[in-house]
């Protein structure tokens, strides 16, 4: 089989032993790559009851079959582990040149277990990987680490993925950064690196990546590249995802003030349009991406002058309107602090917004927040709170570093009612109550509150359904989206190109041209379903049931006050009906457990035995 390297690297950080494992054709066809391989690895290596920070947890890095080839946006990888934030299936998918480099070095992935007794990093130098001392890099920011390792190895073309000081301190929302602006963002993969004393993975790959049919793949890729200059990706190319700000604001679904409201009086000031005029200095592309969506801001004046950060909609929304902050300078600075110290911007914004609401309601005193004036709208306080959270500094920093679920449990006093998360994962920048199909999808997501698992917000925003209510038609929308996204995340390509493929058959064509393995669109969909079910089985192993698939109380109990969606809230009975329709369509029990029959149908034999109902 082509496309795949055909082997992966296994590393035991305890014994410092490295070994080469073969990737079988069966594994390739059944699980495709990326998310599929991650699901298989977690199921096969992480037993029930494992502590996410223990040496028994795994940290798996997987590329997909298309990584390293000319197929547009193929240079993507995922990092997978039992999440210290959610206690279930954790991962993040990331772009940049890293995946391409790893494939060129001759590896489909790297699977690490154990814990190093001292700071270490893995250098995969083509076919000669080795663990090296990382003492010199301990304490460095993600950006400094990247530069220092490249300098020490004497090759600026090496790709580095590193955790920052937040990961070293086991901050539960710690992430991994590569190419400065790209992150394995969500569910705390950087904290798992920290627990293993693994500062970074560096890769140099100089080998060829062979594909099934080079001429045809080149032709097809050229056509896709052409399509990527068309209307399907225009939004990403022009204003980038921040174009969502004004659209969502008009619809009353731009979360502000910790999801108390669905619009923001300073939306114009933080819009993609405004940002392009005053802050965007350069639009970058990831390796092998014909779209180019990465809008890099520069702050020109004021106390944050000189700040540089790549700002997308989610970061902008959660560090801006959600915290009541309408100042692009402060928002850009907050993103920069997150990126350098190594925490997820989405989770970071939600946690600070929660703390601001605690202050608003008098549940946290001035002393609890170390004297910071943590009011909604205070950009300087936002930046300082993010810094303290990332470094676990003071009372405030130590509280916030645990994530919003644990922090609200610690504070008590009903603050859990407005801790906006699902399964412990902080909510992304989509309204709870005025995008209700979206909310259902956020809650069924295996990773916790997640816009990237089904894209179920799309039918709401596009007006294809009544977004202010739920019914039994929504389950199908969500699980079909999940199965499709599971394939995209396994190949792995960028979701921003999902619109340029005309059908599932075209995705199957891409897979066949790359790998030489015949597969139909229908078989791909089946693989997507298998992959999603496999990941779900992992969650069931760790105790997930129906009760974990609900939004926070605010979604049900507090009607919205914004004019355009006045009174909107989720009806609990409607929610249950929609969730039932999801489970029914999935072939799971109404307690949210995959049935033995469904798992056997998908070839998940071991899982049918272990968790099947």
Partner 1 sequence: MALSEQKTKRIIVCDTDKCNGCQICEFVCSIIKEKTTNHKKARIRAMRIEPFFNIAIACRKCEKPVCERACPKDAIRVLADGSIEIDKDKCDGCGWCIESCEFGALRLTFDGGIAFTCDFCADIGEPQCVKYCPKKALRYITLDEAAKESVKDVLLNVIDRGGK
Separation CA 576–CA 333 (nearest Å): 41
Q: Which is nearer to partner 1, 207 or 521 (CB)?
A: 207
Number of residues near partner 1 (by CB under 8 A): 35
Separation CA 376–CA 366 (nearest Å): 14
Stretch that binds partner 1, among 207-215, 254-262, 364-372, 594-602 (CB under 8 A): 207-215
Q: Which is nearer to partner 1, 283 or 369 (CB)?
A: 283
Min CB(345)–partner 1 separation in Å: 18
**Cα-Cα-Cα-Cα dihedral sign, residues 102, 33, 4, 227:** negative
Site for partner 1 in 77-116 (CB under 8 A): 97, 100, 104
Is-contact 188 83, C-beta < 8 A?
yes
Is-contact 434 253, C-beta < 8 A?
yes
Return the residue of 176, 209, 319, 531 that touches partner 1, per CB under 8 A. 209
Stretch that binds partner 1, among 62-70, 346-354, 436-444, 600-608 (CB under 8 A): 62-70
Min CB(204)–partner 1 separation in Å: 10
Is-contact 391 165, C-beta < 8 A?
yes
Separation CA 292–CA 241 (nearest Å): 11
Q: Does 68 bind partner 1 (CB under 8 A)?
A: yes
Separation CA 346–CA 338 (nearest Å): 10
Return the residue of 284, 363, 472, 517 that touches partner 1, per CB under 8 A. 284
Stretch that binds partner 1, among 166-174, 266-274, 293-301, 501-509 (CB under 8 A): 293-301
Closest CA to 215 of 69, 343, 73: 69
Return the residue of 308, 311, 493, 510 that touches partner 1, per CB under 8 A. 308
Q: Which is nearer to partner 1, 3 or 114 (CB)?
A: 3
Would you tell me how many other CB atoms lie within 10 Å of the CB of residue 150?
16
Q: Which is nearer to partner 1, 180 or 536 (CB)?
A: 180
Which letter does DSSP use for residue 87 in this model? S
Min CB(226)–partner 1 separation in Å: 8
Question: Is the omega angle on the peptide bond into residue 293 within 30 degrees of 0, that is, cis?
Answer: no
Q: Which is nearer to partner 1, 180 or 421 (CB)?
A: 180
Stretch that binds partner 1, among 5-13, 86-94, 208-216, 396-404 (CB under 8 A): 208-216
Q: Does 299 bind partner 1 (CB under 8 A)?
A: no
Separation CA 557–CA 578 (nearest Å): 18
Return the residue of 15, 26, 154, 208 that touches partner 1, per CB under 8 A. 208
Separation CA 493–CA 3 (nearest Å): 14
Separation CA 455–CA 216 (nearest Å): 31
Is-contact 192 84, C-beta < 8 A?
yes
Separation CA 538–CA 35 (nearest Å): 13
Stretch that binds partner 1, among 280-288, 385-393, 466-474, 477-485 (CB under 8 A): 280-288
Q: Does 69 bind partner 1 (CB under 8 A)?
A: yes
Return the residue of 184, 245, 254, 289 that touches partner 1, per CB under 8 A. 289
Is-contact 399 412, C-beta < 8 A?
no
Return the residue of 6, 55, 292, 394 that touches partner 1, per CB under 8 A. 292
Q: Which is nearer to partner 1, 1 or 284 (CB)?
A: 284
Return the residue of 285, 363, 465, 519 that touches partner 1, per CB under 8 A. 285
Return the residue of 50, 57, 197, 225 that touches partner 1, per CB under 8 A. 225
Site for partner 1 in 144-183 (CB under 8 A): 157, 180
Q: Does 229 bind partner 1 (CB under 8 A)?
A: yes
Per DSSP, the residues of 12-69 read ETTTTEEEEEEPPHHHHHHH-SHHHHHHHHHHHH--TT--TTSTTSEEEEEE-TTTTS
Q: Which is nearer to partner 1, 509 or 526 (CB)?
A: 509
Strand duo 280-284 + 294-298: pairing: antiparallel
Return the residue of 28, 201, 286, 419 that touches partner 1, per CB under 8 A. 286
Helix (H) or strand (E) holding 340: helix 328-341
Task: Reduce the DSSP state of residue 266 to 3 states and report it.
Answer: coil
Q: Is 232 left (phi over 0), alpha (psi -120 to 50) or beta?
A: alpha
| Residue whose entry in the numeric block shows the structure tokens 């405030």 | 396
Site for partner 1 in 567-586 (CB under 8 A): none
DSSP-assigned beta bridge partners for residue 89? 82
Distances (CA, A) of 502 to 181, 442, 488, 517, 521: 30, 26, 14, 21, 11
Q: Does 394 bind partner 1 (CB under 8 A)?
A: no
State both tokens at 338: 């997150």
Stretch that binds partner 1, among 64-72, 158-166, 527-535, 553-561 (CB under 8 A): 64-72
Q: Which is nearer to partner 1, 215 or 367 (CB)?
A: 215
Q: Which is nearer to partner 1, 39 or 228 (CB)?
A: 228
Q: Does 128 bind partner 1 (CB under 8 A)?
A: no
Q: Residues interacting with partner 1, by CB under 8 A?
A: 68-70, 97, 100, 104, 157, 180, 206-211, 214, 218, 222, 225, 228-229, 281-290, 292, 294, 296, 298, 308
């Amino acid at each position: 089989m082509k496309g795949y390297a055909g082997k992966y690297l296994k590393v035991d950080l305890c014994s410092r032993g490295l070994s080469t494992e073969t990737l079988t054709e069966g594994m390739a066809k059944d699980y495709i790559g990326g998310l599929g391989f991650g699901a298989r690895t977690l199921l096969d290596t992480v037993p029930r009851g494992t502590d996410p920070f223990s040496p028994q947890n795994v940290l798996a890095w997987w590329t997909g079959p298309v990584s390293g080839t000319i197929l547009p946006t193929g240079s993507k990888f995922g990092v997978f582990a039992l999440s210290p934030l959610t206690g279930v299936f954790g991962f993040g998918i990331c772009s940049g040149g890293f995946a391409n480099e790893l494939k060129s070095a001759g590896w489909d992935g790297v699977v690490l277990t154990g814990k190093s007794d001292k700071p270490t990093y893995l250098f995969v130098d083509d076919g000669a990987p080795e663990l090296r001392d990382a003492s010199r890099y301990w304490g460095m920011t993600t950006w400094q680490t990247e530069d220092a390792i490249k300098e020490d190895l004497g090759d600026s073309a090496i790709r580095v993925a590193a955790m920052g000081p937040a990961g070293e301190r086991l901050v539960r929302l710690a992430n991994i950064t590569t190419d400065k602006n790209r992150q394995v963002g969500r569910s705390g993969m950087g904290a798992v690196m920290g627990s293993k004393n693994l500062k970074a993975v560096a890769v140099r790959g100089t080998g060829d990546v062979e594909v099934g049919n080079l001429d045809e793949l080149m032709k097809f890729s050229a056509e896709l590249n052409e399509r990527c200059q068309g209307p399907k990706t225009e939004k990403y190319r022009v204003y980038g995802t921040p174009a969502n700000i004004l659209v969502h604001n008009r619809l009353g679904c731009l979360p502000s003030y910790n999801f108390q409201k669905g619009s923001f009086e300073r939306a114009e000031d933080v819009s993609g349009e405004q940002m392009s005029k005053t802050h965007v200095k350069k639009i970058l592309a990831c390796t092998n991406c014909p779209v180019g969506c990465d809008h890099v801001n520069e702050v020109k004046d004021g106390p944050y002058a000189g700040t540089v950060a790549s700002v997308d909609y989610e970061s902008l929304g959660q560090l801006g309107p959600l915290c009541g902050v309408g100042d692009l300078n402060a928002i850009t600075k907050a993103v920069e602090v997150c990126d350098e110290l190594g925490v997820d911007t989405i989770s970071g914004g939600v946690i600070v917004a929660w703390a601001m609401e605690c202050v608003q309601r008098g549940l946290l005193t001035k002393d609890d927040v170390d004297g910071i004036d943590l009011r909604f709208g205070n950009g300087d306080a936002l930046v300082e709170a993010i810094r303290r959270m990332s470094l676990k500094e003071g009372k405030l920093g130590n509280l916030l570093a645990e994530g919003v679920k644990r922090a609200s449990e610690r504070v008590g006093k009903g603050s859990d009612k407005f801790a906006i998360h699902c399964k412990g994962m902080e909510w992304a920048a989509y309204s709870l109550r005025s995008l209700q199909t979206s909310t259902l999808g956020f809650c069924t997501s295996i990773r916790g509150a997640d816009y990237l698992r089904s894209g179920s917000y799309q039918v709401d925003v596009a007006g294809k359904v009544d977004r202010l209510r739920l019914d039994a038609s929504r389950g199908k929308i969500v699980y079909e989206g999940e199965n499709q996204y599971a394939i995209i995340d396994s190949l792995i390509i960028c979701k921003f190109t999902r619109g340029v493929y005309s059908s599932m058959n075209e995705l199957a064509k891409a897979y066949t041209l790359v790998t030489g393995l015949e597969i139909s669109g229908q078989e791909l969909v089946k693989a997507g379903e298998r992959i999603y079910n496999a990941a779900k089985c992992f969650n069931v192993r760790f105790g997930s049931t129906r009760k974990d698939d609900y939004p926070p109380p605010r979604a049900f109990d507090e009607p919205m006050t914004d004019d355009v969606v006045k009174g909107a809230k989720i009806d609990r009975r409607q929610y249950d009906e929609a969730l039932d329709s999801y489970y029914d369509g999935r072939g799971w029990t109404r307690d949210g457990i995959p049935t033995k029959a469904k798992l056997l149908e998908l070839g998940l034999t071991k899982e049918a035995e272990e968790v099947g109902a």
